């Protein structure tokens, strides 16, 4: 396991781990909400993938893991940008890129990689309709669409 920091664009740093030795086959591993690049499910994936000749590249999404206190929001624009940067980095390491993504990581991956060549894709509990999740959360916390439009961002008790 080799820890890296990938720097891109306006000096934004993405902490990453490259699990296994160099290989012509790499799996980009994207964690879900409230998780990080060293999550147990990613470690288990890496252990199995390495035995099959893959290396695994995992990283922290904005506001997760080592980036928890960064001033860089976890939103679709930033996550897509990070994922595209990770994909470019993976392409520099390997000819064949596959994807493993969990929960909201799967959702952001679908947005970021829709035009990329991905050999194999594995999703664990994927979020496929963020709109549906947001509507359910708003309903559960009695937040109207009008209030959201006015305030733009409303912290929820689940993410304090």
Alpha helices in 52-158 (DSSP H): 76-93, 103-112, 130-140, 145-151
**Cβ–Cβ under 8 Å, residues 46 and 20:** yes
Domains in the chain: how many in total? 2
Whether 94 contacts 24, CB under 8 Å: yes
Instruction: Indicate whether 59 and 116 sit together in one domain.
Output: yes
The low-confidence residues of the chain, meaning pLDDT below 50, are 160
60-99 pLDDT per residue, tens: 999 999 999 999 999 999 999 999 999 999 999 999 999 9
Are 109 and 133 in the same domain? Answer: no
**19 and 68: one domain?**
yes
**Range of the structural domain that residue 114 is part of:** 2-127
Q: pTM value? A: 0.84
Q: Which two tokens stand for residue 33?
A: 């909400």
DSSP state at residue 158: G
- Decide: 106 and 126 in contact? Cβ < 8 Å: yes
């Amino acid at each position: 396991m080799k820890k890296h920091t990938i720097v891109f664009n306006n000096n934004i740093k993405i902490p990453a781990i490259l699990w296994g030795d160099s290989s012509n086959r790499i799996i980009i591993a994207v964690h879900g909400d409230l998780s990080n690049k060293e999550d147990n499910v990613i470690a288990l994936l890496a252990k199995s993938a390495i035995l099959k000749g893959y290396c695994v590249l995992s990283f922290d999404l904005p506001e997760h893991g080592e980036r928890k206190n960064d001033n860089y929001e976890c939103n679709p624009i930033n996550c897509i940008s990070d994922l595209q940067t990770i994909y470019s980095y993976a392409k520099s390491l390997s000819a064949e890129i596959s994807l493993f993504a969990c929960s909201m990581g799967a959702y952001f991956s679908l947005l970021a990689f829709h035009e990329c060549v991905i050999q194999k894709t594995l999703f664990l509990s994927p979020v496929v309709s963020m709109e549906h999740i947001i509507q359910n959360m708003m309903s559960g916390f009695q937040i109207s669409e009008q209030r959201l439009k006015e305030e733009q961002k409303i912290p929820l008790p689940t993410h304090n």
